[in-house]
């Protein structure tokens, strides 16, 4: 028994021990899934076409695009007024407004007004809260 169970771990290479084991387990499990679900995997194309067909593409892709734009602009805008968190504020107001409008169904005045109000108030309040009482960094 003794020798079989002995292991020496070289500290300099110890960062690879666990990832190797986990990767091996992952590969075995992956293989088992492929074997078990091969029929379902073969039909994946249809599955994804169905998802694409059924989804609300404007709202879904719109959300992704707006989020991407929001994240991309925050830091460069913030650098104009360094360490004030204004990058967050200036980008959040249009983002909340735009996603709000995107998610709405009836875009009458009565419905839009609360969205505009929230888009103005919520980011400003959060910005104030984080900048003054909490003294935390925002972009």
Partner 1 sequence: MIEAVTTLVTPTFLLLVLGGTFTGIVFGAIPGMTATMAVAVCLPLTYSLGLENGLALLLGLYVGGISGGMVPAVLLGIPGTPSSITTTFDGYPMAQRGEGEAALRIGIVASLVGGLVSLGILWAFAPTLADFAIRFSYVEKFLIILFALTVMAALSSDMLLGIFSGVLGIFVALIGVYDISDGGNGNLRLIPPGTEYWLESGFSLLPVLIGLFGLAAVLEQAEAGVPRGHSAKDLAVGRAGGFRLRMLRGEGVNLVRSSGIGTFVGILPGVGGSAASILAYSNAKTFSKTPERFGTGAPSGIVASEAGNNGLTGGALVPLLSLGIPGDSTTALLIGAFTLQGIQVGPLFIGNNPDTWNAMIFAMIVANLAMFVMMYAAIRWFALVVTVPKHVLLPVILMMCVVGAYTINYGIMFDVWTLLIFGVAGWLFTKLRLEVAPFIIGFILGPSAEVYFVKSLESFGDLTIFFTKSWIAWVLWGLIVLSVAASASLSSRRRRPATA
Partner 2 sequence: MLYRKTILAAIAATTALSAPLATFAQELPRNVRLVIGSTSTGGDTYQNSAIVADALAEHLGINVKVDAVGATEAFKALERDGRGTTLMIFHDQSYLGELYGRQGYDDPFETYVIGPTVAINPGNAYLASCDSPYQSMEDILQAAADGDRVRVAIQPGGVSEIGFSAMKYAASVRSPGSESNIVAVNTGSQSDKNQAMWDDLADVINGSIQANEQFTQLPADDPKCMRFVWITARPATLEAAPAEGMGDTTRDDLLQYATPNVDVTLGEDGPFTFDKEFFFLFNPDMDPAIVEQIDTALTEIFAEGSIQERQTGSFFIPNFLPSDEARAHLSEKRDTYEQVISTIADDAS
According to DSSP, residue 71 is labeled: H
Contact status, residue 137 vs residue 83, Cβ threshold 8 Å: yes
- Which residues neighbour 93 within 8 Å (Cβ) at sequence distance 6 or greater? 119, 120, 123, 124
Q: Is 34 in the site for partner 1 (CB under 8 A)?
A: no
Residue 77: both structure tokens together? 């805008």
Q: Which of 74, 68, 69 is nearest to 86 (CA)?
A: 74
The region of 21-29, 54-62, 80-88, 93-101 touching partner 2 under the rule CB under 8 A is: 80-88
Q: Is 79 in the site for partner 1 (CB under 8 A)?
A: no
Residue 13 has, within 13 A of its CA and on its CB side, a CA count of: 5
Number of Cβ within 10 Å of residue 131's Cβ equals 18
Question: Between residue 6 and residue 35, which ones bind partner 2 under the rule CB under 8 A?
Answer: 11
Identify the residue among 70, 73, 77, 84 touching partner 1 (CB under 8 A).
Answer: 70
Contact status, residue 124 vs residue 89, Cβ threshold 8 Å: yes
Q: Which residue's CB is nearer to partner 1, number 25 or number 80? A: 25
Q: Which residues bind partner 1 (CB under 8 A)?
A: 1, 5-9, 11-12, 14-19, 22-23, 25-26, 29-30, 32-33, 36, 47-48, 51, 55-56, 59-60, 62-64, 67-68, 70-71, 74-75, 88, 92, 95-97, 99-101, 103-105, 114-115, 118-119, 122-123, 126, 130, 134-139
Chain residues that interact with partner 2, rule: CB under 8 A? 11, 82-84, 135-137
């Amino acid at each position: 028994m003794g020798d079989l169970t002995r292991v020496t771990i070289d500290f300099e290479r110890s960062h690879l021990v666990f990832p190797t084991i986990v990767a091996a387990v992952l590969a075995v499990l992956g293989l088992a899934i492929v074997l078990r679900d091969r029929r379902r995997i073969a039909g994946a194309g249809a599955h994804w076409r169905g998802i694409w067909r059924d989804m609300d593409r404007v709202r879904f892709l719109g959300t992704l695009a707006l989020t991407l734009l929001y994240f991309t602009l925050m830091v460069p805008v913030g650098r104009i007024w360094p360490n004030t968190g204004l990058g967050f504020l200036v980008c959040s107001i249009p983002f909340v407004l735009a996603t709000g409008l995107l998610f709405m169904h009836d875009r009458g005045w009565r419905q839009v007004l609360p969205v505009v109000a929230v888009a103005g108030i919520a980011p400003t309040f959060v910005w104030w809260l984080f900048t003054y009482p909490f003294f935390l960094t925002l972009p």
